[in-house]
């Protein structure tokens, strides 16, 4: 409850958010926060863990109906993953900008995909760098586990159409995530608009060339 109430405030204010603001948003007394967390830094670290964790998006992927056509299933998956990545980027970016996190430690960097909710320092404590600042990036093995969990969830969405695919569902899912993460990183200022989810799925399933008899 505390972390859920804190997330939008952290996204807006970064490390400048106060525990009194969080308490008001959660509808609790400020003292209740300090019974659950040692200090505000622990609240912020819990917010990062929640933002980069994949539990929520995995639950969303599990609700996609397998009765829908494959392109619809993958479009819904792309939208769920986009929302997850945007929330992660907003929270982590706000904390970077306000000095709570060190650059280069957090967020989805390339095709490794979104960071998972891994234990830090082997025991869930805050990761302290030599400069004393907090880092929130889970270790590489946690990122790998997170990517595998997402890939496996997408594989389940593709599995009903295994026989129609030239590649295995595992390879299709890996290509899907690679295209999606590239799309999310491609929105640089002044750059051409990235592929829409529908365009991305069309390229994945049908390629980028016109075929004889097509309307284009």
> What pLDDT, on a 0 to 100 scale, did the predictor assign at position 80?
94
> What pLDDT, on a 0 to 100 scale, did the predictor assign at position 169?
96
Say how many CA atoms lie within 13 Å of 68 toward its Cβ.
Answer: 14
CB burial readout 87-124, b (16+ within 10 A) else e:
bbbbbbebbbeeebbbeebbbbeeeebbbbbbebeeee
Neighbours of 73 (CB within 10 A): 22
> What pLDDT, on a 0 to 100 scale, did the predictor assign at position 109?
40
> What pLDDT, on a 0 to 100 scale, did the predictor assign at position 26?
93
> What pLDDT, on a 0 to 100 scale, did the predictor assign at position 119?
38
> What pLDDT, on a 0 to 100 scale, did the predictor assign at position 65?
97
Q: Tens-of-pLDDT digits for all 216 residues of the chain?
A: 899 999 999 999 999 999 999 999 999 999 999 999 999 999 999 999 998 899 999 999 999 999 999 999 999 999 999 899 888 889 988 998 888 875 544 444 433 444 443 333 333 344 444 344 444 455 568 788 889 999 999 999 999 999 999 999 999 999 999 988 877 665 555 556 777 888 889 989 988 887 665 555
> What pLDDT, on a 0 to 100 scale, did the predictor assign at position 211?
63
């Amino acid at each position: 409850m505390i972390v859920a109430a804190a997330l939008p405030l952290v996204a807006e204010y970064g490390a400048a958010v106060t525990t009194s603001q969080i308490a008001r948003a959660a509808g609790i007394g400020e003292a209740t926060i300090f019974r659950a967390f040692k200090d505000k830094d622990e609240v912020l670290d819990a917010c990062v863990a929640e933002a980069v964790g994949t539990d929520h998006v995995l639950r969303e992927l599990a609700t996609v109906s397998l009765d829908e056509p494959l392109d619809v299933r993958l479009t819904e998956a792309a939208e769920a993953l986009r929302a997850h990545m945007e929330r992660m980027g907003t929270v982590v970016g706000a904390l970077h900008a306000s000095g709570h996190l060190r650059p280069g430690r957090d967020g989805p960097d390339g095709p490794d995909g979104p960071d998972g909710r891994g234990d830090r320092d082997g025991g869930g404590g805050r990761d302290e760098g030599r400069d004393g600042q907090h880092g929130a990036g889970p270790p590489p093995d946690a990122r790998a586990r997170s990517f595998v969990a997402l890939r496996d969830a997408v594989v389940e969405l593709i599995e009903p159409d295994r026989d129609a695919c030239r590649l295995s569902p595992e390879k299709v899912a890996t290509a899907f995530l690679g295209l999606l993460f590239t799309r999310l990183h491609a929105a640089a200022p002044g750059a051409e608009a990235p592929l829409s989810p529908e365009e991305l799925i069309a390229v994945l399933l049908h390629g980028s060339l016109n075929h004889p008899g097509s309307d284009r």
